[in-house]
Homo-oligomer: A and B are copies of this chain.
Amino acid sequence: MAQKPSIPKGTRDFSPAEMAGRDHIFNTVRTVFKKYGYSPIETPSMENLSTLLGKYGEEGDKLLFKVLNSGDAFSGVTPDMLSNSNSLSVKVCEKGLRYDLTVPFARYVVQHQSEIVFPFKRYQIQPVWRADRPQKGRYREFYQCDVDVIGSNSLINELELVQIVDDVFGKLGLSVVVKINNRKVLSGIAEVSGHADKLIDITVAIDKIDKIGIDAVKEELYSKGIDEDAVAIIEPILTLSGATEDKLTRMSDILSYSEIGLKGVEELKELFGLIESAGVACEVELDLSLARGLNYYTGAIFEVKSKETSMGSICGGGRYDDLTGIFGLKGVSGVGISFGADRIYDVISTLDRFPKDAVEGTKVLFTNMGDKEMRYAIPLVKILREAGIASEIYPDQVKLKKQFDYADKRGIPFLAIIGEDEITNSKISLKNLSTGEQKVIDKEDIINSFKN
């Protein structure tokens, strides 16, 4: 009995039409990254599980795909080990699929530190895997496009990341807003509210303001033991309005007793100043509630949202001062952002904004009505291909109707019809399938028919 074929849930096949859209996105980000002086690297799909475990929190550990040891994975496993699934899985699986590109990058930098020229500007476009519950827009295998610079403290790196975002989404024809915050400002807010120890609780709560509103945020703060006086300090920050400059001046006042908070305000002032002077086309906004999980970030925090759809974040990142420390290389600061290719695909798709010529398909199909006709076509198709014009000969000698249908379904714009008459007179009948126009040309003119 034949198997009914399927693929694991949360994974996808990509058809030629989907590939064209995806390649459009990858080529765009790649071209922009290179223009800004970033170089590509790749890391293996599998990392040692010890490299990955403990880097993404307890929840993240659960979402790692583990790879069974090859050979006899269960030799040495005793019945009592079955009672502890976690430790058993780590015993029989020494490897796991990468969960993101950031931890492998940190591992790469430490492992290859002697070969790397710092500051190291790298980009990386590869799939990652997470055993998340699959749902609309969330997959178990998806691509990240990461761009990071490591080994430099200058805020010009932050400026360049904003310029890269502006450039990429401009080229993709999407209207976006770049939201910016600074982790030090969040620390300052926690400090002046008298709850420096509750930084995580505070930021997790205020990060939700867009979704749940100010009243629910306040409720959550109270429930975490933040007192009314503290909330009275935090609330006006979240509802600050006006120009970025004015907001930052207000924040300087509010955070005047927090050294780290003032440092954060200063960094934001400098970054917004750089962005102002460089000039970017997209909207850039100070968002004092932006936190993005906080895992690594120590300075700037970025998030990019599509202004034309309700798709959440399509790109995000920030500065991290000690990413490589976990692998033994201390004091190397970096900053980077990650483009979510799958979500960007969904946005462009929803807005129907893929360029119509993104599918670089075949331009000419030569019909095949017999051996003589086929042999007549072979050198002609060769000439076209040598000129870089994608072309095909229909391989089988079947009814012309079927060959027409093939061209039509494949979206091939031109049909080169070869019959007795054409061979006798050294001609080609060339039919434009979109206009229906058909003309007879000298076979020597084939190449000129497609040059313009």
Contact = CB atoms under 8 A, between A and B. Distances in A.
Nearest to A397: B154
B79 A85 contact: no
A278 B67 CA distance: 48
Contacts of A391: 35, 37
Contacts of A73: 85, 89
A44 B5 CA distance: 13
Contacts of A2: 325-328
Interface in A394-412: 395-397, 406, 409-410
Nearest to A68: B66
A147 to B, nearest CB: 13
Contacts of A432: none
B35 A388 contact: yes
Contacts of A95: 8
Given A111-B5, A396-B119, A41 B13 contact: yes
Interface stretch (A214-222, A225-233, A372-380): A372-380
A144 to B, nearest CB: 14
Nearest to A49: B8
Contacts of A34: 360, 390
A27 to B, nearest CB: 11
B37 A19 contact: no
B39 A361 contact: yes
A427 interface: no
A8 to B, nearest CB: 5
Interface string A112-135: 100101010110000101010000
A242 B93 CA distance: 56
A360 to B, nearest CB: 6
A131 B70 contact: yes
Interface of A is mostly: mixed
Contact of A68 (B8, B65, B117): B65
Contacts of A382: 163, 278
A450 interface: no
A245 interface: no
A15 B44 contact: no
A131 B71 CA distance: 9
Copies of the protein in its oligomer? 2
A232 B154 CA distance: 79
Contact of A392 (B37, B62, B122, B278): B37
Residue from A35, A45, A48, A328 having most chain B Cβ neighbours under 10 A: A35
Contacts of A14: 41-43
A74 interface: yes
Contact of A16 (B40, B46, B82): B40
A108 interface: yes
A85 B74 contact: yes
Contact of A51 (B3, B119, B379): B3
Interface in A58-103: 62-63, 65-68, 70-75, 77-79, 82, 85, 88-89, 92-95, 97
Contacts of A28: none
A149 interface: yes
A12 interface: yes
B8 A378 contact: no
Contacts of A107: 5, 7
A426 interface: no
Given A82-B77, A395-B152, A68 B45 contact: no
Given A5-B111, A156-B395, A278-B379, A40 B19 contact: yes
Contact of A117 (B74, B278, B374, B406): B406
Nearest to A94: B8
17 contacts: A2-B325, A3-B51, A6-B48, A8-B47, A13-B108, A16-B41, A37-B361, A45-B141, A63-B70, A65-B67, A79-B79, A117-B406, A117-B409, A119-B395, A156-B368, A156-B374, A167-B385
Closest 3 CB pairs of A and B: A2-B328, A16-B39, A11-B44
Given A13-B108, A46-B129, A74-B82, 13 more contacts: A2-B327, A7-B51, A7-B107, A14-B41, A15-B115, A19-B39, A23-B40, A37-B390, A45-B129, A46-B141, A74-B89, A154-B395, A156-B393
